[in-house]
């Protein structure tokens, strides 16, 4: 079995209020960063997958994200899977 490396980015869906992002945006404005807007804060998750092929590793990684790592009602995600020698 080969080892693969997965990188997942989870973000709130458009239209869902990002309270943390809004708080950071307001704080930056009070610090003089008034040209920064629309801050969205998400999750960056990485993990290793053992599988027989890249396709199998992608299936395993997607299943893990679907079952536990994101909430489909309020979040979306993107995922990249590569050989672990080329860690993302």
Does the domain at 2-86 match CATH 3.30.1280.10? Answer given as yes
pLDDT for res 85:
73
pLDDT for residue 84 = 85
Which pLDDT belongs to residue 76?
98
d(CA 24, CA 44): 18
pLDDT tens digits, one per residue of 54-71:
999 999 999 999 999 999
pTM above 0.75, yes or no: yes
pLDDT of 86 higher than 70: no
DSSP the chain: -EEEEEEEEEEEPTTS--HHHHHHHHHHHHTT-TT-------EEEEEEEEESSHHHHHHHHHHHIIIII--TTTEEEEEEEEEGGG--
Alpha carbon 46 to its chain centroid, in Å, reads 9
What digits encode the pLDDT tens for the residues 15-33? 999 999 999 999 999 999 9
* Residue pair 54/81 in contact by the 8 Å Cβ criterion: yes
């Amino acid at each position: 079995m080969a080892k693969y490396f997965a990188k997942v980015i989870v973000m709130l869906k458009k239209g869902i209020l990002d309270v943390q992002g809004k708080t950071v945006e307001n704080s930056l404005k009070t610090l003089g960063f008034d040209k920064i807007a629309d801050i969205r804060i998400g999750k960056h998750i990485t993990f290793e997958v053992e599988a027989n092929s890249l396709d199998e590793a992608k299936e395993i990684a997607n299943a893990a994200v679907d079952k536990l790592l994101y909430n489909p009602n309020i979040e979306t995600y993107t995922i990249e899977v590569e050989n672990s020698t080329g860690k993302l």
